[in-house]
Structure 1
């Protein structure tokens, strides 16, 4: 079992508040977030951006391991995740995460690649935790 931690602090309330988020690894260390970074173009991060980064990296790593398990030894995988936040009654919800993958894996057939990519999409831990539509577009070069 692996446990990772992050902390968040928010000072002030609502639109006037300011927050900081930090991660156990120190990659984020007091990184600013607020209403402006979530709903406008403020400098800093926001929860949806962090989920997109987590989903893109989790899926890409899962596919990398699936390809290695299938005997492939070389390749490049580039994934973008676009996470959508929609209004949901009085609140909001993450409605979808769209993964877009560009890959180069010498010697793989398009059919095998699609099978492994779809398996990684369904099996990566971040996909499993999201209660949202998850789509995958891919291009094999």
Structure 2
């Protein structure tokens, strides 16, 4: 059986589309919003302060970091297992950097830090697999550039 990541044909002819919702009320500096995952696994508040300062609540960059860390951990586990090295664990942190670039808030980088427990695997081979997983991770691919489409309407 082939795997879904990183470079194989999907085992499922159609994979589900995932979604999340966000609502913002008010202007940017004084308003507030909520974000909710379709699964119900997360619902949280966000604000100007939680995004651009050090206020309470979440922010879109934190959710991107969670998605990237989760995807990468799965991708690395898969790459290792396909190479005959079953990992005991893979733990990844993704740090998303948001900075002002020419007056606009811009995600300027994402740094992945991962630690894995893989019995019998040497460091050089692990580094090769870790790099391959970064290239094959679907979130890495999406954040490197993907088509974004939009349907917009007024209510």
| TM-score grouping bracket, smaller chain normalisation | 0.7 to 0.9
Matched, 1:123 2:143: no
Q: 2:114 aligns with which of 101, 112, 130?
A: 101
Q: 1:41 aligns with which of 30, 54, 76?
A: 54
* TM-score (norm: length of structure 2): 0.80
Q: Which runs of 5+ in 2 are unaligned?
A: 1-14, 146-155
Matched, 1:22 2:36: yes
Bigger Cα Rg: 2
Q: Which runs of 5+ in 1 are unaligned?
A: 133-141
2:96 matched residue in structure 1: 83
Matched, 1:55 2:68: yes
Provide the C-alpha distance between the structure 2 equivalents of 1:60 and 1:73, rounded to a whole number of angstroms: 13
**Which digits, 9 at most, give the CA deviation of each residue in 1:66-119, with x for residues without a partner?**
111112234221111111011121312111100111121001121211111000
**Which digits, 9 at most, give the CA deviation of each residue in 1:31-68, with x for residues without a partner?**
10010111222221001111111111111110011111
Provide the C-alpha distance between the structure 2 equivalents of 1:123 and 1:24, rounded to a whole number of angstroms: 25
* TM-score (norm: length of structure 1): 0.87
1:131 to 1:94, Cα distance in 2 relative to 1, 3 A: farther
Greater than 2 Å deviation, 4+ residue runs: none
Structure number with higher strand proportion: 1
Provide the C-alpha distance between the structure 1 equivalents of 2:29 and 2:21, rounded to a whole number of angstroms: 20
2:6 matched residue in structure 1: none
Of 56-65 and 33-42, deviating more is: 33-42
Q: CA RMSD in A?
A: 1.4
User: Secondary structure at the residue paired with 1:67?
Assistant: helix
